[in-house]
Amino acid sequence: MKKVWIAFSSVVILSFIALIWVGTKVYQTQPPIPETVMIKETGETVFTKADIQIGQNVWESIGGMEVGSIWGHGSYVAPDWSADWIHKEAVFMLDAWAQKDFNTSYGVLDVENKAALKARLIKDIKTNSYNPKTGAITISAARYAAIRSNTAHYTRIFSEGYEQYAIPEGALTDQVKLAQLNAFLFWTSWAASTNRPNEDYTYTSNWPHEPLIGNTITPDSQIWSGFSIVLLLLFIGALSYYYIRNHEKGEAVIHPKQDPLDTLVLTRSQRAVLKYFIVISLLIALQVVLGALTVHYTVEGQAFFGFDLSSFLPYSITRTWHTQLAVFWIAATWLATGLFLAPMISGKEMKFQVFGINFLFIALLLIVLGSMLGEWLGVHQFLDLTTNFFFGHQGYEYMDLGRFWQIFLGIGLVLWVVMVGRHVIFAIKKNDDSKHLLIILLISVIAIGMFFFSGLMYGENSSLPVINYWRWWLVPLWVEGFFEVFATVIIAFIFLRMKILSAKTAGKASIASATIFLAGGIIGTLHHLYYSGTPVQAIALGATFSALEVVPLTLMGFEIRENWNLLKSNEWMQKYKWPVFFFIAVAFWNMVGAGVFGFLINPPIALYYIQGLNTTAVHAHTALFGVYGLLGMGFIIICLRFYSDRVWNSVKLKRAFWFLNVGLVAMVVLSLLPIGIIQAYTSITKGYSFARDAELLYSPTVQTLKWMRMIGDIIFSVGIFYFCWFTIQETVYCIKKKN
């Protein structure tokens, strides 16, 4: 075991050293926010630093990433504002020059004249005029005219509404705020179209793809993409060889003839956890309803089958709540599982455990309802900008809730760490064969509490690259990283208590799995940051190590087979058939959703063209729900199986399982993936802005594919209905029964 622990420790320490090193580079080389933006010919000030920074806060207050995207990060209905600004600015300048020089529009010029004007545009746009001594950016009068045109365009969109972007009328009416919002949009486009000092690529490594200004993929993105694919193949081969050679060498276990957990006596604290499952079921149902509203806005813009909802529940709110509730209910499920298993781990009921569980339950309700109300108030402009930051809408996917609610949630997580951790420490002190498994469990529990606080590492006026850096610490490292380790260990512990896995094998396998996963997962976080105003080191390390994340997922077929064999090992295992089925589905979606569809958008050469398109939604749905959602559901079912003393009628669970999985497949195959492929082709051949343009997204073909999604959505919703029905019904039974 010593070698396994050394490998685990080395991977974690070295990975965080690399991640923090890139973080220092992000701070040092981020696009500068100028003190002033001035017209070169006249010296007139166009924007100030305050305009840009307050404009970012304004953008956050209207929903931020839930209303279109910036640098590819955000929602899919409205455009990517930085890419859209760049394209409109370029077209305006080219047409203005064509009218002045040739008395016609740019589109009808011959090839030579087009090339001459395009070369002039590239020089004007891509030359970095930032003066570090004065903090000023100078722009040409021609560019200023384009900026004024863009400003008028976006002012109309946000004040008068734009149905095809799902932006309601009056989303933002304050003229000062509208001007500041435009200042921020200009700055994001400037960083994406202006070369870094002494380099021939922009602050965003030439993202987005925009042929008019010469934004094409960089050699670095191409080279590191190729290297990541070679590395992927190499490590898949190496891991497959290691697995085939060693996976049968675990300690032999004599499978018991009856369920070792039949005599389980539930404690008061375990009974207190039951109410979590009812609330979680309601959150799941609400999330699906909000998802239906959100996706329907992509068809009708501001209505739900003709009924106007946007004035009360605009797209930015329904999408905020839909994505946020996914994180809430999945995390709550896993946390509740930890609280339930804690007494099983220690073998005793600890003081104040019931009080802590009840306190966390009330805190969960307050955080969910309070943050949702705050976001609604913020988007509807009832809060000033600073109040919005603390209590309203922060504007960033998966981190939309205000800072106050984040801190409140962080305090709750610290309490959860104490409540679960003390049980684990008590069990470790027994110094039995399960010691190593419990140590890695304790590490994951502490990490879950600690890494949530990475979301507090930026402030109200932090720059976009810095915010994105810490934001992706929270999402992949907290949710996809240490929660994944926690889940792996929890499943191993459950199988250990069932005596179908030995303590030694469970401990060694869990530590090795965590090592393999974190070897790619920690540094692989950087693949979210390729084109976010970050340095080229993010591309090099992110591409290399995110490829390694896919390696263990390619072996999920073996896990599916082994879980299936468990069901056939003993007759009493049929009692746990449906939890095991959900774990099998998790392994399948880990391989397909996280592995195949994850790698589809992982290499820089792929993400350069398809970031923020429906290909991202394919990965998001199949990985977030297919892996973490189904895993959370499996945890609920197995906890209820421990609670319940009656034979289950499996009809509801059977329907839930198959409707959920078939619905998810149909959702992807009939709608999301085809739309993503159409967008990808458009982005590659014409430019990124065209792939996000309403002309494409509301074309007859894409509209038909959007409506086709209803088939998968309806099937999936039926599965949700049956799962929630079963869970609430069984939970109520367990609450009423006496031990």
State phi, psi for 69 to the nearest 5 degrees.
-140, 165
Mean pLDDT score, 151-173? 95
Judge whether residue 25 has pLDDT over 90: yes
Residue 74 — very low, low, confident or very high, per pLDDT cuts 50/70/90?
A: very high
Mean pLDDT score, 714-731? 96
Higher pLDDT, 568 or 390: 390
Judge whether residue 496 has pLDDT over 70: yes
Per-residue confidence (pLDDT) for residue 98, from 0 to 100: 97
Residues 6+ apart with CB under 8 A from 265: 739
Mean pLDDT score, 441-446? 94
CA 306 to each of CA 164, 426, 476, 494, 723: distance values in angstroms, whole numbers, following the listed order: 14, 59, 38, 50, 30
Judge whether residue 548 has pLDDT over 90: no
Contact 272, 358 (CB under 8 A): yes
Per-residue confidence (pLDDT) for residue 249, from 0 to 100: 55
Contact 82, 188 (CB under 8 A): yes
| DSSP output for 658-702 | HHHHHHHHHHIIIIIHHHHHHHHHHHHHT-HHHHTSHHHHTSHHH
Mean pLDDT score, 717-733? 96
- What are the pLDDT digits (tens) for 485-494? 888 888 888 8
Give the span between the Cα atoms of 566 and 569, in whole angstroms: 5
- What are the pLDDT digits (tens) for 232-258? 888 888 877 777 776 655 554 556 778
Give the span between the Cα atoms of 569 and 563, in whole angstroms: 10
Among 23-37, 131-145, 502-516, 631-645, the least confident range: 502-516
Strand partners, 70: 73
Per-residue confidence (pLDDT) for residue 250, from 0 to 100: 52
Counting every residue written for the chain, the total comes to 739
Contact 97, 103 (CB under 8 A): no
| DSSP output for 428-442 | HTT--TTHHHHHHHH
Q: 3-state class of 210 per DSSP?
A: strand
Residues 6+ apart with CB under 8 A from 685: none
State phi, psi for 302 to the nearest 5 degrees.
-135, 15
Contact 477, 522 (CB under 8 A): yes
- What are the pLDDT digits (tens) for 573-616? 888 889 989 988 998 998 898 889 988 998 999 999 999 999 99
Per-residue confidence (pLDDT) for residue 321, from 0 to 100: 97
Residue 739 — very low, low, confident or very high, per pLDDT cuts 50/70/90?
A: low
Cα-atom radius of gyration of the chain, to the nearest Å? 27
Residue 557 — very low, low, confident or very high, per pLDDT cuts 50/70/90?
A: low
Per-residue confidence (pLDDT) for residue 560, from 0 to 100: 66
Per-residue confidence (pLDDT) for residue 461, from 0 to 100: 93
Q: 3-state class of 304 per DSSP?
A: strand
Residue 554 — very low, low, confident or very high, per pLDDT cuts 50/70/90?
A: low
Give the span between the Cα atoms of 711 and 452, in whole angstroms: 37
Judge whether residue 552 has pLDDT over 80: no
Secondary structure in 3-state letters for 330-379? HHHHHHHHHHHHHHHHHCCCCCCHHHHHHHHHHHHHHHHHHHHHHHHHHH
Contact 544, 520 (CB under 8 A): no
Per-residue confidence (pLDDT) for residue 233, from 0 to 100: 85
Helix 700-736 to helix 274-300 angle (10° resolution) is 170
Fold exhibited by the domain 540-738: Cytochrome C Oxidase; Chain A (1.20.210)
Higher pLDDT, 521 or 390: 390
Neighbours of 253 (CB within 10 A): 17
On average, the pLDDT of the chain sits at 91
Q: Element (H or E) spanning 705, and its range?
A: helix 700-736
Give the span between the Cα atoms of 172 and 395, in whole angstroms: 15
Judge whether residue 507 has pLDDT over 60: yes
Mean pLDDT score, 383-399? 95
**Which residue spans of the chain are classified as CATH 1.20.210.10?**
540-738
Give the span between the Cα atoms of 495 and 565, in whole angstroms: 13
Neighbours of 377 (CB within 10 A): 17
Q: What's CA 621's distance to the chain center, in Å?
A: 10
Judge whether residue 556 has pLDDT over 80: no
Q: Any idea which residue has 């591409």 for tokens?
A: 543
Mean pLDDT score, 203-230? 96
Strand partners, 162: 167
What proportion of the chain, given as a percentage, has pLDDT over 90? Answer: 73
